Structure formats: C-alpha cells, structure tokens
Amino acid sequence: MSVNARVQFAQKAMIFRGRHEVLLVERLDDSGGTLRWELPGGRLQEGETLDEAFSREILEEVGINAISGKPVHVWAFSTDDGESVLALARDAIQWHGQLSLRYRDASERLGENRWFQISALPESIDENSRVAIARSMALIPRGEKEQKFSECVLCQVLDESPDAPIRTSMDQAQLPSEVLCESAFYVAVSDVAPLTPGHLLIVSREHTKGLFSGPRSHLVDLEGILEYCSARLQAIYGKRAIAFEHGACVSDQGCGISHAHLHVLPLEASLMGLAEDLSGWREYDSLESASDAVPPGTDYLLIVEGRVNVRLGSAPSQVLRRRISGFLGTEFWNWSDTVLLGRIPTDSITALHASWKLGHRHGGRE
C-alpha cells in the first residue's frame, strides 16, 4: 500500500550487530544547533510503500542494504515548522553491507554513524530511539551467550587483534581492516590463504563450531550476506561464486579452525563435480531446510552452488580446499602452511579490498 505524500510519515531502523551493538547516527535537531544520536531513517517520499522507504532511507544514510520488520515503537512529534509527523521504529530483520556516507545528500543534517554497545548508549541519544531499542531487545531470543576465545584464529580476526595471521605480513597502514562487509550475525573477511583471487570467508560473530550449530533463525541472515557477497564477487571477477564449509569439526578431522565460517570464491568449475566421488550428498532448497537434516554433534560437508548440498560424516582434513587446489594446480591447500611459510598473497588481498570498495554495489547503485 502506498501512503499519500501529504501525510507525514517517518521510519527509524533498529540495526543490531550481534546481540550487543546497535547502529546510531548523529543528526542536528530541528533548531539546527545541536547534534544528537538517534536511529537512522527518514520520511516517506510520494508513491513509496513503507518497505520501499525503509530500505531507501537506510541505504542513503548509512550505506547498508536492509529489509524491514515489524514496528516495535510508534510516536508522534511536531517540527519547528508546525508539521505533524508519525514515526515508526522497525527492526531490520536482515541487513548486509559496509557503513558508508557516500549516498548522503549535502543538505542532510547528519554527522557520523557509529556502533554503540547497547549497555552504554550515549547520553545525547534521542529518547524515542532509546525506548525503541529497549523494546526491540526485549523481543530478541537470547539463546546462548556470545563467546569469544583468545586462542581462536577467527575470533582474533573479528576482534581486529594484532595476533591475527594477516598481521604477520600486513600492518594496519597497509590493510586497516580485514572486514569487507557484515550483517547482524556474520562478518565477511578476506581469506588469508586464498585459493583464488576474491576468496573470502563469511564468519559467525559467535564462536560456534559449525554454521548449523548456531540458532536456526540466523541462517536467513547468512543467506542474505552470502547472496550479497556472491553478487559482488561475480561483478568484480566475472565468474560465478561458489561456497563451501567443512563443518562442524566435532571430530576435528574435517576442518582446520573450529569456528563456523563459510568459504566463498569465484570458480569456473563445479565444486560438486570435483567432490562427486565422496558418497552421501543430499540436496536441499535452502540452508534452513538443510539444517534440519544435520543432527547436533555431527561432522558434515556443505557446498552451495545455487542449490544447497550436504554430506554427513567425517572427511579428510580440508578436503574441499584440497579438491579446488588440485583443480587449479596450486601449491598449497592448507591455510596454515601458507601463513607459516610466509606465503600470504598480500597483493591479491589488497586488490580484493580495493575492488570491493570501488566496484559494483549490490542493488544496482554505483
């Protein structure tokens, strides 16, 4: 349903990162004299639906692609010009991208955007934003507590630790961050031992052994960021992107790191074709439907090539990395060998980050 442009409606987005952070923007108040923190969002334009306006405003203000959920807080206010505005605060049920100021109009009264710990919101936050956040957090299933482990390589990457493997070859002046984009529950980073140019990892924010070990509801978020990353890689490299996981490392035989991560890379070959001799593959429509077929505490292999393919049971260590390496004729398949022998391809990683920033933007906007 479209809303008549003469009726002033505004929407605000609650964009959460994990369970502990929320995104806020600085905005000048109506008098134009004081900056205060509030939820990102804005007013409907003529002919827009509520959902269309929500997505457009969030992309324009913070550079993130977001899908709107249900309203959790409604309030009315009047501007200094005498306009009456009805405002809705809605959860972003799915989002992905990188924070950016690039789409803002020069006339907008906006400052910076920043992630805040929900337990430490700024004193200058708008009161209705504070109420909306509190109400939304009350509706989020708590599940298991987020855990991070100092000895886990991918926890180090997510924490931007100086002990992360990339820092053996590149300092922060050369590569300020490994992060390419992120969503509510996942972060995409460049692979430190890429099998092909453009090889990246989608990493769970929570320290969990496999992608199917976490809450089932997170898989919708994973499918969103996977679609986003695959489109970006195809636009940059001109090849279809495939994805795979060695999960869940219960027996510590299948993968090299016991922290859930999905490999995504451009590849001309079919990975299912390279792995067809491994018996027991089953095909599913989505990650959610596949998760129902993976019992807790079970090792598995996962390949996503349009359809979702799962094979239960243990497998040789990093077997899918080996198959791709064999097809490409590359020297190393084991990521740790690449790091320990000082073979991190810094030029390839730098090129991916540069292309990601300058290349095609998901959603058709440059």
pLDDT tens for 176-218 read 999 999 998 999 999 999 999 999 999 999 888 889 988 888 9
- The residue from 139, 173, 188 where one domain ends is 139
pLDDT for position 254: 47
Q: What's the predicted TM-score (pTM) here?
A: 0.74
Higher-pLDDT residue of 240 and 342 is 240
Instruction: Assess whether 109 and 171 both reside in one domain.
Output: no
Compute the average pLDDT of residues 262-291: 95
Q: Report if residue 144 sits inside a domain.
A: no
Contact (Cβ atoms closer than 8 angstroms) between residue 261 and residue 245: yes
Q: Report if residue 113 sits inside a domain.
A: yes
Instruction: Assess whether 169 and 255 both reside in one domain.
Output: yes
Instruction: Assess whether 194 and 324 both reside in one domain.
Output: yes
Instruction: Assess whether 238 and 301 both reside in one domain.
Output: yes
Find tokens 């994805």 and name the residue. 243
Instruction: Assess whether 95 and 176 both reside in one domain.
Output: no
Instruction: Assess whether 14 and 86 both reside in one domain.
Output: yes
Could you list the residue range(s) of the whole structural domain that residue 302 is in? 153-358
pLDDT at 283 over 50: yes
C-beta neighbour count of 54 within 10 angstroms:
24
Q: Report if residue 37 sits inside a domain.
A: yes
Model confidence at 365, in pLDDT bands (50, 70, 90)? very low
Cα 151-246-203 angle, rounded to 5 deg = 55
Find tokens 């906006």 and name the residue. 110
pLDDT at 32 over 70: no
- The residue from 139, 169, 189 where one domain ends is 139
Q: Report if residue 363 sits inside a domain.
A: no
CA pair distance 268, 117, nearest whole angstrom: 42
Higher-pLDDT residue of 342 and 138 is 342
Compute the average pLDDT of residues 159-183: 90
- The residue from 112, 139, 166 where one domain ends is 139
Q: Give the mean pLDDT of the chain.
A: 85
pLDDT at 332 over 80: no
Instruction: Assess whether 123 and 183 both reside in one domain.
Output: no
Number of domains in the chain: 2
C-beta neighbour count of 148 within 10 angstroms:
14
Burial of 254 (0-12, 13-18, 19+ CB in 10 A): buried
* Least confident stretch, 2-16, 32-46, 333-347: 2-16
pLDDT for position 232: 94
Instruction: Give me the long-range contacts of 319-324 (CB less than 8 A, separation at least 24).
Output: 319/246, 319/254, 319/275, 319/278, 320/244, 320/246, 320/263, 320/271, 320/275, 321/195, 321/246, 321/263, 323/271, 323/274, 323/275, 324/195, 324/196, 324/265, 324/267, 324/269, 324/271, 324/274
- Give me the phi and psi of 327, to 5 degrees please: -65, -40
Q: Report if residue 188 sits inside a domain.
A: yes
Whichever domain contains 83, its CATH number is 3.90.79.10
Instruction: Assess whether 122 and 221 both reside in one domain.
Output: no
Q: Report if residue 324 sits inside a domain.
A: yes
pLDDT for position 342: 80
Instruction: Assess whether 165 and 133 both reside in one domain.
Output: no
Q: Report if residue 256 sits inside a domain.
A: yes
Closest alpha carbon to 352 in 223, 208, 183, 170: 170
Higher-pLDDT residue of 49 and 106 is 49
pLDDT for position 135: 84
Q: Report if residue 215 sits inside a domain.
A: yes
Contact (Cβ atoms closer than 8 angstroms) between residue 229 and residue 200: yes
Instruction: Assess whether 101 and 161 both reside in one domain.
Output: no
Instruction: Assess whether 159 and 297 both reside in one domain.
Output: yes
Residues ≥6 apart with Cβ < 8 Å to 352: 180, 190, 194, 197, 198, 200, 236
Higher-pLDDT residue of 109 and 274 is 274
Instruction: Assess whether 157 and 103 both reside in one domain.
Output: no
Whichever domain contains 325, its CATH number is 3.30.428.10
- Give kind and range of the element (H or E) at residue 76: strand 64-78
